[in-house]
């Protein structure tokens, strides 16, 4: 075993978002620990399944379960099916998530609701499905974000959802500890995943400048660090020195972090659109300067 598991490596692991990004990497690491892995995602490609199966040995199994994390009934059915085939999960990690980077005034109601549905309700749906399957000694982890510890420009829906996921994890930590199930919440900064690569095509320059405060990690080292802390049973897990320092300042000196973020935001705003960010609003409460395509 590579990791310092308190109770031995998990024999069975359930991972959502297993078709790409963090979920895919966590699944690979778990297979390396000898776990059988059930993957949950909207779709897991044949290529990913072949990659996973090439990592198995002995009686290890890998299977994909197609499911929409926002559909509570479907998630419950998929998790129940996986438990029948694999047995009770020793470790479950909810990696499914989405992000939309757009200033709040140009973020539509349906877009906001979609982010909340996937990130928050999806976390709830997976927890509600998997916890009844877990025995004492089980471990459920939620992927939140550093954006759930401090806000950032253009992430109203994303930060709201991730702050809420941390709140959900905090509550479940208390409740589930009474029956011997551990809870963890992963709060990474930016990790170079397909989601981040796609987001980078349209990310707002102010958001880009602020996100650079926490740095960007590669998916392999980031998941390796988080898995090590999961094995130790840590509750809050933050990989990367810059992200750890950002969280430290946010916790101990929140006014200082806000001042740094505000300074970065003002500097970039003045360079890209000084009129938009300095002129007063019109009588209707709306900015007098229209939002350009490059700014959204």
CATH number where 121 lies = 3.40.50.720
Q: What is the pLDDT of residue 277?
A: 62
Whether residue 22 is contained in a domain is answered as yes
Domain that includes residue 89, residue range: 12-203+215-241
Provide DSSP, 227-266.
HHHHHHT-SEE--SHHHHHHHHHHHH-HHHHHHHHHHHHH
Overall domain count for the chain: 1
Cβ distance 110 to 157 under 8 Å?
no
Whether residue 138 is contained in a domain is answered as yes
Q: What is the pLDDT of residue 278?
A: 53
Quick one: CA dihedral 128, 133, 134, 140, positive or negative? Answer: negative
Q: Tell me the CA distances in angstroms from 244 to 10, 154, 188, 203, 232, one per residue in order.
A: 27, 22, 9, 23, 18
What CA dihedral angle connects 260, 261, 264 and 265, to 10 degrees?
-150
Whether residue 268 is contained in a domain is answered as no
Query: Catalytic residue numbers?
Result: 158
Q: What is the pLDDT of residue 19?
A: 95
Return d(Cα 198, Cα 183) in angstroms, integer. Answer: 30
Return d(Cα 7, Cα 115) in angstroms, integer. Answer: 35
Whether residue 162 is contained in a domain is answered as yes
Cβ distance 53 to 78 under 8 Å?
no
Low-confidence ranges of the chain (pLDDT < 50): 282-296
Predicted TM-score (pTM) of the model is 0.90
Task: Please list the alpha-helical segments (H only) found in the chain.
Answer: 21-32, 46-53, 72-86, 109-116, 122-130, 156-177, 194-199, 205-211, 219-232, 241-252, 254-272, 274-278
Contacts of 55 (CB under 8 A, 6+ apart): 28, 31, 32, 62
| pLDDT tens column, 62-118 | 999 999 999 999 999 999 999 999 999 999 999 999 999 999 999 999 999 999 999
How many other C-beta atoms can be found within 10 angstroms of the C-beta atom of residue 220? 13
Whether residue 271 is contained in a domain is answered as no
Q: Which candidate, 243, 223, 240, 221, places its Cα nearest to that of 231?
A: 223
Whether residue 286 is contained in a domain is answered as no
Burial status of residue 74 (CB atoms within 10 A of its CB: 0-12, 13-18, 19 or more): middle
Whether residue 25 is contained in a domain is answered as yes
Q: What is the pLDDT of residue 198?
A: 85
Whether residue 277 is contained in a domain is answered as no
């Amino acid at each position: 075993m590579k990791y310092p598991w308190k109770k031995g490596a998990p024999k069975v692991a359930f991972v959502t978002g297993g078709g790409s990004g963090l979920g895919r990497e966590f699944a690979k690491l778990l297979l390396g620990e000898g776990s059988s892995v059930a993957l949950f995602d909207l779709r897991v490609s044949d290529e990913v399944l072949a990659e996973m199966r090439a990592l198995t040995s002995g009686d290890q199994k890998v299977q994909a379960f197609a499911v929409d994390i926002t559909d509570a009934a479907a998630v419950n059915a998929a998790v129940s099916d996986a438990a029948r085939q694999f047995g009770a999960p020793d470790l479950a990690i909810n990696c499914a998530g989405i992000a939309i980077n757009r200033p709040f005034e140009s973020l539509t109601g349906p877009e906001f609701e979609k982010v909340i549905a996937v990130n928050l309700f999806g976390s709830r749906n997976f927890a509600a499905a998997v916890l009844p399957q877990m025995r004492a000694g089980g471990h459920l982890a939620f992927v939140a974000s550093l954006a759930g510890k401090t806000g950032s420009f253009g992430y109203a829906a994303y930060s709201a959802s991730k702050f809420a996921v941390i709140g959900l994890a905090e509550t479940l930590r208390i409740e589930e500890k009474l029956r011997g199930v551990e809870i963890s919440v992963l709060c990474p900064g930016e990790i170079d995943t397909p989601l981040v690569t796609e987001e980078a095509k349209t990310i707002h320059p102010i958001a880009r400048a602020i996100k650079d405060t926490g740095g960007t990690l590669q998916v392999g080292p980031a998941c390796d660090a988080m898995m090590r802390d999961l094995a130790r049973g840590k509750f809050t897990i933050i990989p990367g020195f810059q992200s750890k320092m950002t969280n430290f300042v946010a916790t101990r000196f929140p006014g200082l972090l806000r001042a740094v973020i505000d300074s970065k935001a003002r500097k970039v705003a003045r360079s890209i659109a000084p009129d938009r960010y300095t002129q007063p609003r019109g009588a209707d409460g709306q900015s007098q300067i229209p939002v350009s395509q490059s700014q959204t």
